[in-house]
Amino acid sequence: MSELHPDTIAVHAGREGLDELGVHALPIDLSSTNPLPDIERGGDSYEALTGGRRPPEAGSNVYGRLWNPTVARFEDALAALEGADEAVAFASGMAAMTAALLALCAATGKRHVVGVRPLYGGTDALLAGDLLGIERTFCAVDAVAPAIRDDTGLVVMETPANPTLDLVDIAAVVAQAGDVPVLVDNTFATPVLQNPLAHGARLALHSATKYIGGHGDVIAGAIACDADTAIALRRVRTATGSVLHPLAGYLLHRGLTTLPVRMRAQQQNAQRIAAALRQHPAVARVYYPDADTTGILGTQLRGPGAMVSIALRGGFDAAERFTSALRIFTHAVSLGGVDSLVQHPAAISHRHVAPEARPGADVVRLSIGLEDADDLVADLAAALG
């Protein structure tokens, strides 16, 4: 499918073999266990799946914790959109991040990780904590090379970054990392606007809860990567039980079909909103990468996306009044759905980030949805007033 336009891939990827099944809509396999053809082939299937392999042709899926065909269809579709060999889905974005750290650091003995700040608060807190027995070095984007050690197993970065929308040159980080694999959190951009593997990254991670699901009704994570890394990730997923439920896999696969259309429409609204907010006297700064001067926008990143953050004059008190006064925007965590959300990162999503890396108390993050742009601008203006 690589020769097709991404819009076409989004609609058709992962649908192979539906004609043979005699169906048009994607099937949902909710089986928690599966019949075994016989002891020997059942054992062979179990051995293959627990080792991170895909199901053998003449075997069995054995057990829902090991493999599910509905989830596999979503994984194949996401891999096609990301230009990856494979993708591996998990029960949440943090489960996906944890699996990457276990597979590439804990399991290899290279227990040091370089984290390029700013990062999503949950990722930052996971790296900073002692839960996984790893060591970490946080650094700025231009200090990755000196942070690399002999026991570094992974470099973790995010672009556009949460919540300040910082843009990072993926290829430049990959060059600094040398032989160390680079993981890029691609949640804000989605495969529609950015494909990290095309710029040298080993892994592209998504909190699929966000734009990929797109409707606020599913929690999931996924990593697109090469085949060998996928085997290592599936081995961790099997051992830890961080499997994605089949119904969630179905909802995510359905969400992918409209992802390009949703992303472009939400981005168009965000551009309109960013322009209006830049003119408002209550707004000290707008964080939105439509005026990027680094050359990343238009090359690595195909569009500025649909996330907008603002710093308000008046600090935390102004932020509190603003979030409480909005009527169309829902005050809630998460992002990327069809409805617009507002959140104060320092108080919630980035609460456990070290003070020196935490967003300011004056910063508010907006996830722009599919509502009418005039209505959204009016709601923001009224709340700011």
Cα(175)–Cα(173) distance, rounded to whole angstroms? 5
Cα 357 from chain centroid (whole Å)? 21
Clarify whether 120 is annotated catalytic. Answer: yes
Residue 239 contacts residue 209 (beta carbons within 8 Å): no
Clarify whether 185 is annotated catalytic. Answer: yes
Residue 97 contacts residue 237 (beta carbons within 8 Å): no
3-state secondary structure of 79: helix
Give residue 56's region: left, alpha or beta (phi > 0; psi -120 to 50): beta
Catalytic residue chosen out of the listed positions 73, 110, 117, 210: 210
Catalytic residue chosen out of the listed positions 63, 111, 117, 120: 120
Cα(225)–Cα(206) distance, rounded to whole angstroms? 12
Catalytic residue chosen out of the listed positions 185, 234, 235, 288: 185
Cα–Cα distances in angstroms (integers) from residue 103 to residues 106, 136, 159, 183, 237, in the given order = 6, 16, 22, 12, 10
Catalytic residue chosen out of the listed positions 65, 272, 285, 321: 65
Clarify whether 210 is annotated catalytic. Answer: yes
Q: What is the DSSP letter of 203?
A: E
Q: Which residues are catalytic?
A: 65, 120, 185, 210
